[in-house]
Amino acid sequence: MKLKDKVAIITGGAGGIGSETARLFGKEGAKVAIADFSEDEGEKTAAELRESGIDCIFVKVNVADPHSAEQMAEQVTDQFGKIDILINNAGITRDAMLKKLSKEQWQQVIDVNLSGVFHCTQAVLPYMTALGSGSIINTSSVVGVHGNVGQTNYAATKAGVIGMTKTWAKELGPKGIRVNAVAPGFVDTAMVASVPEKIMETLIEKVPLKKLGRPEDIANAYLFLSSEEAAYVNGTVLEVTGGLVI
């Protein structure tokens, strides 16, 4: 087991990539905290994982609220005694062309996708520092690396996540804490399901593998970066895109 006796927090863990990651980490021996704003979905997912033998709890969190993030870290530590891994997976979209992008749409995405990563990382930092080890993985996006029409706010947050990742890798590396990012391409989740069929066909055609990614493809990337197999990987951005931007 690659994560035996590790404790992992997965934000946005109630569904999609997050729940798949929680399932995989649990199978690899981790104790898992599903941290999500959706209480019903989070409790349901945690219960399903417990039924399969995974040591799992649900923690309600609003990542945009620093106090809520601090409570999350405290609750997980009270339950499991430590925090080894943080997957900053929570994210939202509020897409619009620049001319029509409202200040509310801008701020909502900034608050969750960028400030949320900051709040959660800052919240777990004292616990990881006390351990002298840890792995923090931030979810960026291919959009954060290469941009995308109609996603000014989303692209800005995901590019910002890369900047924070590289900065924290330098700051926290001496404390034994590795910080990396994963930049998914187009993955078969509810977020992508809202894209019109014709546009999706065009997107898939651009991918050399000619298919969407699966949530487990991203979960596997998270697993590698969380494990001892990546013990000397720090400050990297791992693109999981099927070759979309070759």
Nearest to 136, CA basis, from 122, 156, 154, 157: 122
Region 59-88: mean pLDDT is 98
Tell which CATH architecture fits domain 7-240.
3-Layer(aba) Sandwich (3.40)
Is residue 161's pLDDT more than 90?
yes
Is residue 93's pLDDT more than 90?
yes
pLDDT tens for each residue of 21-42: 999 999 999 999 999 999 999 9
CB-based contacts of 17: which residues, under 8 Å, 6+ apart? Answer: 89, 139, 184, 187, 189, 215, 218, 219
pTM for this entry: 0.96
Which entry of 127, 154, 222, 232 is annotated as an active-site residue? 154
Region 141-161: mean pLDDT is 96
Mean pLDDT of the chain: 96
> What's the DSSP call for residue 100?
G
Given this model, what pLDDT does residue 198 score? 81
Domain spans, the chain:
7-240
Active site residue 127: no
> What's the DSSP call for residue 132?
T
pLDDT tens for each residue of 171-225: 999 999 999 999 999 898 877 777 778 878 888 898 999 999 999 999 999 999 9
